[in-house]
Structure 1
Amino acid sequence: MRFDLSSCARLGRGVLVASSLICVATAGAEAALIRHWALDEANLTDPGNNTYAGIIDSTGNSTGATLFGYNAGKDMAALGVVNVPGPTGFGTAYNFTEVPGENAGISGVFTNSLDAIPATGDFSLQVVMNSTNVAGNSNLFSNNNGQGGRAGLQTDASGNLFWFHNGGVNITTTANVTDGAWHMVGIAREGTRFDLFVDGVIVGTGDSAGAISTAQSWMIGRQRSSGGGYNGLVADVKIYDSYQLPGALVPEPAGIALLGLAAAAMAAGSRRGRMVS
C-alpha cells in the first residue's frame, strides 16, 4: 500500500485529509454513468425460458441480464431474494445468500456486458453492499473465466476488500466490509493508477498499464466461471467513464439491515409454509 502527500495532491479531487496512511476525498468532477444495475426489479418470475428477463441496466446498455443459480419456475420475490430493503436512497437490494431448500437462490447476475469496464480507459466501479460472510473469496463484480486480463472486486476470507487483476495490479487491504452494515465500495482508475475505496476513503492503491479483459461478460455476485460466489446483499452497481471517488455512504446500524433481511426471509418462509433460516 502506498500513500503520501504527493499522491494525495495528484488526485486533484477535493482532497480533505492527507497522511502517510490514508487519503479521504469527496466526489470528483462530473463523470458520465455508463452502466447502472439498480437491482430494484419487483418480480422476477421465470417467464418460461429460464431468463428471468427484467434485470435492466438503466443507462440503456446491456439490457439482457439474467439470473444464475435460480430455481427455475420460482418467483424470486416470493423466495425473499429480491426486494430486500436497501439503504436510504438506493431502493431495494438482491440477496445473493443461498436459500436453504431452494437451490442456490441468486448466485449471480449475468450482465451480458463485455465492456462494462474498459480495457485501458479511466473508470469508476461503485457497489453498495452489505454482508457478514467471510467464507472464502467472494466476488462482487467479476469477469473471471480463467482468461488473461481477468479481474474482479472481491472480499477475502477475512472479510477484507480487494481487487484482483491478472496481468495487472492486485490491491489488498485490511478494510473489513463484512460487518453487517451497508458500504459503498469500489475501484477507480485514472491513467495507470488504481484506487480501491470504502465509503469515500482510499484504502489501497497501485499502478499498472495492463489491460482488463473484455473477452468475458461481467457478473454481479460471482465470477464468470463457476464458484467464487458472494453471500450478502447488493443494492446498486454503477460504472462511470472516468475516475470518480464518491462521498461516504452513511451506513445504517447493522441491526437494522439484518432485521430487514430477517423480515424478508420470514415472509418468504410463511408463503412456502416453512421458515427460511
Structure 2
Amino acid sequence: MGQLNRLEGKRALVTGGGRGIGAAIVRRLAAEGAAVAVNYVSNAASAEALVRELRDAGHQASAFQADVGDPAQTRELVQKVVAEFGGLDLLASNAGVEHFGALDSITQADFDRVFQINVAGQLFATQAAVAAMSEGGRITLTASISARISVYQHTLYGAAKAAVSAMARNLAPELAERGIAINAIAPGGTHTDMAATATDSYIHPALREQDREAVLKSKNALGRWADPREIAAAVAFLLSPDASYITGSTLEAAGGWM
C-alpha cells in the first residue's frame, strides 16, 4: 500500500477496532495520516497491542474501552476521544455481532442483542460523533452483503444490516446540511476470527458434505474471501476527500458475491 496521506491531520474513531476488520481499518487510517482512537469492548490486550504497534511506527493512537451497545457509554467514549485528540473528524462504525438461527429458535433476547449492537449501536455512535464534528466530517457504517443476498438462517443479522444501509441513506440529506457525509460499507466473506467460527453456518446444510472452501469460493466472482485490509482500503476511501461526492451510499466490497 502506498502512503497516500489523504487523512493527514484528521482524528478518527474506529469502533470495534481491536481486531479483525476493525484493526485493519485502524492500521489503514493511521498509515494515511490520521490520529486513531481504537475502541474495544472487552479485549484490552489486543487493542493495547495494536496501539503500541502504531505508536512504534510513529503514529498517534490510543485505546478506549466502551460497549457501543450502550448509548451512554458511546457518548462518554466520544467525549474522551475529543478530550484527548482535540476533536473528531472521522467515524468508522465497525462494532457488531454475528447471529445464525432457525426461525423457531429466535428469541426476543436474540433480537434485542443483534439490533441493539448492530443497529442502535451504530445509530447512537453516529449521533454522538456528529455532535462532535464540524463541517467536513465523514462517517462509515458497517452493513453487509447479507442485507442483499439470502444466507441460510441468517435472518436477524441480514435484517439488521439492511437497516444500517437504510440508516446511511436516510441520514445523508440531514447530515449534508452540516457538511457531513455518511456511507456504509458492505463486506462479503472476509477472513476474520468472527467469520472463522461461523464458516459452516454460511453453507446450506445440503452442501455441507462438499468441500467447504470450494463451496464458499463458488459464491464469489473472484473465487476467494477478502483480506481485512481490502475492506479497510474501501473504508479509507469513503472517509477520504476522494469520496467527496459520495454520501448515502452502500459500497459493496464483496468480490462480486452472487
Which has the bigger relative contact order, CA under 8 A and spacing at least 6?
Answer: 1
State if a TM-score over 0.5 links the two structures: no
Structure with the bigger percentage of helix: 2
Structure with the bigger percentage of strand: 1
TM-score (norm 1): 0.27
